[in-house]
Structure 1
Amino acid sequence: MGHRTAASQSTAPEAAQHTGQARRSTAAAGSRTHGSGHAERVFLVQTAFAELGGHAHGPGEIAEFTGLDDSVVYRILQSGIYQRIFERVDRGLYRLRTSAAQLAFTALDHRLDGAQTVLSDLREATGNGLVFLYMVAPFSGAQRQCVDMAVGDSDLAELGMTPRDVLSVTRSLRTGASGRTILAYLPEVLQQRVLAEPVPDQAGPGVYRDNAALLASLAEVRDLGHALGYEECMAGWNSCAAPIMWDGAIMGAVLLLKQKTVMPKAPDDVIEATKEAAAVLSRHGAARPGTDA
């Protein structure tokens, strides 16, 4: 389809591999340059678990990723067990405790206050488009979840949408403008997990089925700051999405959806309105300075 960016089948995996190697080199270089303090080393170890993904990792793997000595990593892991940061799941293997997730939920508290107003304003600014708020699913970093919407008096069933369309098909990050928007900013390890997934059977005719083309579209999303979808989730519906970023991390996306007959191509004012709504929600979640002097 005309909206897709052409990409070589062979170069995309190589580019992903080089990106991963560069990220590991950067992490290691950063640890040697800036990781002299104990706090910095602890943060590097925590970050390694998040970047590497997977079930559990050993001190040697963490040391290689961070550039720290094996003995330093081992001491941090042992101390973290007592501090309830890490847990040992097998001989020589560790993972982050669920207390890390509890901290994340605490950080999310109240950050979506006023989201409905933002979504309703976007609906009005775009001539009554259907607006959805997707966030990274809390129990899987490689899926999304619809948490709010502004559709006015529209009956989604009459528009040809079912709960499966909203909740099931659109859960995949490789499907739809909002899915690709979130996917574009996720760590490589999570991107690779999504690329290994099959395309949902109920996806629309415009879905990206080729992984090389999908990867190229993610680079375009990062360059432009938004994604355009053409019948990706459902036949007859086009979309525009923009990322919600909190403290430099992707948290979700705002999605504007219109029928293809009404919006064969998203005009500039729709794109800008969608990006502004996402920017407002990003500012809601941004770190705020303390009130103490």
Structure 2
Amino acid sequence: MIIREFETILASLKAKGAYCGIEFNYKGPAHLSIGQEAAAVGAAASLEPHDHIFGSHRSHGEFIAKGLSAIRKLPDDAMRLIMESHERGALLRTVETSLQGPKGIETAENFLLLGLLAEIFMRSTGFNRGMGGSMHAFFPPFGTYPNNAIVGASAGIATGAALRKKLAGASGITVANAGDGSTGCGPVWEAMNFAAMAQFDTLWADAFKGGLPVLFFFNNNFYAMGGQTIGETMGWDRLSRIGLAVNQQAIHAETVDGTNPLAVADAVARKRELLVQGRGPALLDVECYRSSGHSTTDINSYRTKDEMQAWEQHDPII
């Protein structure tokens, strides 16, 4: 519900220049995940604060879900230290001064939401002083790393981060969030192949054996911008089948109901266990639907009203 309302704010400001009577001329990008919230929430529920996620093209929901999950799992004193030390406590002071209310977890939640919103609005109180904006916001204490304007780029970056975790002996996993359209991009296939190289088991020293701890998490909303992946821009009929091309384990590929956060949470928990055991990488084909356009200028001319209305029955908020 928080993710849905947060992105509804952005959509309203982008389209109308106002939200609930508050006027603001937002000129930045707005790639919204409205309709896909259950995928982000389910994944975050089964991740730990030291697990690192790298964003898909529409990453606001991923950022918020991972942040809320980290807030609930971090000890109170650690959470307070994070807020006080970030930019010398400037964002925390803004939250406590301007958003007065119950202390405790509500303060941390407001810290997360205002920090991201201010970043999107290019304000100095944003997590990255307003220089990252909508697509490149990040906050390492929560394990949230940037989105990327290059389709599927999270695959290579998350694979590199997973390699670093392996070599440094660091705990946790990395998650590469991407859309189904990214399976048409070479770097995504290169990343999956690199993460599953046989040499990790056959040639590396015992202390470093095992595939990389990276989860390729595909938010499969059936469209690559305006092209339908099944039957049009791709050759596969079910995204999870691409795992068969990578290794004998098909990188533990699985298709999941992405409109059900509990199903996603269960799948991510099972894949995470494999990854921390050195049996990675893994792939999840998380089927969902974006009820918003690719961006706010998208008039959805490539899909019918009947299709969109049919998917409304599977909206995760309902």
**Normalized against structure 1, the TM-score is what?**
0.27
Structure richer in strand, relative to its length: 1
Task: Specify which structure has the bigger relative contact order, considering alpha-carbon pairs within 8 angstroms and separated by 6 or more residues.
Answer: 2
Larger Cα-atom Rg: 1
TM-score normalised per structure 2: 0.26
